[in-house]
Each structure stands twice: as C-alpha cells, then as structure tokens.
Amino acid sequence: MLIIDRIEEDTAVVECSNPATGEVIMQNIPRTWILGDIQEGDVLCKTPDGYAIDETETRKRRAQAAERLHQLETE
C-alpha cells in the first residue's frame, strides 16, 4: 500500500509497506507522476500512466482515523 505521508514542493513522500515482512520504507514520487489533486493521507495505486488516488481505500482509512479520534475524545 502506498500512502502519501507529506508533499514537499514537487515531490510526494510516500510510505510503502512490504506485506511479507511488514517493513515500512519511504519513497519519493514526483508529483507529475500522480494523477489528480493529492493531499497527505491519500492512498495511491499504480496505473499504466503512473499513480492515481485510490478513492475507496482513502475514504476507508480516513473514516477509520476519524473513528479512532472520536473514541479517544470520548474516553
């Protein structure tokens, strides 16, 4: 899974996880290789033309994060 950690000028710094080992590495992807208007936390998927936002997975992760935050606030 590729998740945008931050955007630095014309580069997206992306968190990549290896499902076999669980190892997490950071990778720089030029902004011009990514289709769409990106923001931190977006999940990317590989396309023939580069990368695109995986809207479904991004919504799912944002909902999970909002739920965790809500649970912390109500404890």
Query: How do residues 17-42 score in pLDDT, each as one tens digit?
Result: 888 898 999 999 999 999 999 999 99
Token pair listed for 59: 């919504």
Q: Is 42 exposed, middle or buried (0-12, 13-18, 19+ CB in 10 A)?
A: buried
Find the DSSP H helices in the chain. 55-73
Give SS3 for 54: coil
The whole-number pLDDT of residue 26 equals 96
pLDDT at 59: 97
Q: Provide the number of structural domains found in the chain.
A: 1
* pLDDT reported for residue 22: 86
Residue 75 is predicted with a pLDDT of 79
Query: Averaged over 62-72, what is the pLDDT?
Result: 93
| Residue-number span of the structural domain to which 11 is assigned | 2-73
What φ, ψ does residue 68 adopt, rounded to 5°?
A: -65, -40
Distance CA 9, CA 49 (A): 21
pLDDT of residue 18: 84
- Structure confidence by residue, pLDDT tens digits, 40-58: 999 999 999 999 999 999 9
